[in-house]
Amino acid sequence: MRTATIERITRETEISVTVDLDGSGTYDVQTGVGFLDHMLEQLSRHSLIDLTLRAKGDTHIDDHHVTEDTGLAIGSAIAKALGARTGIRRYGDALIPMDESLARCAIDLSNRPYLVWRVDLPAPKLGSMETELFREWFQAFAQTCGATLHMEALYGGNTHHIVEASFKALARALRVAIEIDPRAANAVPSTKGVLGGSLGSGGAK
């Protein structure tokens, strides 16, 4: 069973996350930030990763710490559930339309964190949430998940649609990347025999 639970407690947030990579996309998410809840529910539903998350934080200041730390915690839980990443497809990509918006995600679960973010968001807020925080979430997720993650909004005019299409694109790409490849179920998907390391130190290709 590819499951994991992570607890992250700091002076700013308290977060508990449980994931099941081989689930059906069921979710139970409470962060105290309504729009973030909505996006994490989309992530679970469209990746088929079961997700249970409870987060409390200093939202009386703003939503920054809860947003960033949920990204860190979810990424950590997925990385833990993946273990040595044996047998996974490793790569995934998705192109997701939502009305007038189109988002693209390409992911490599290489254990080398990197984010390319080409997502322009017209509105500064969605509800009470500052839209600049979405980049922080994706950056945090990539960091702890060990993912090379390229996110791009090809076009769009409605900020809600652009953000939601981006989360759905990540979900669908992740769904492919974490799947076990039946043709190589016992092999690490790298010529090095291990996934990890930095590009500058001869990391796995």
Average pLDDT, whole number, for the chain?
92
The pLDDT of residue 191: 58
Residue 140, pLDDT > 50, answer yes
pLDDT digits over 46-95, tens only?
999 999 999 998 888 788 999 999 999 999 999 999 999 999 999 999 99
The pLDDT of residue 21: 98
Residue 125, pLDDT > 60, answer yes
Give CATH for domain 3-201.
Answer: 3.30.230.40
Centre a 10 Å sphere on the Cβ of residue 25 and count the other Cβ atoms it contains. Answer: 18
Per-domain boundaries in the chain:
3-201
Place of tokens 């390391």: 197
pLDDT digits over 95-112, tens only?
999 999 999 999 999 999
Residue 198, pLDDT > 60, answer no
Length of the chain: 205
CA distances to 121, 155, 163, 170 from 133, rounded to whole Å, are: 11, 20, 11, 16
Closest by Cα among 17, 47, 5, 15 to 167: 47
The pLDDT of residue 62: 81
- Give me the numbers of helices (H) and strands (E) for the chain, helices first please: 4, 10
Mean pLDDT of 102-128: 96
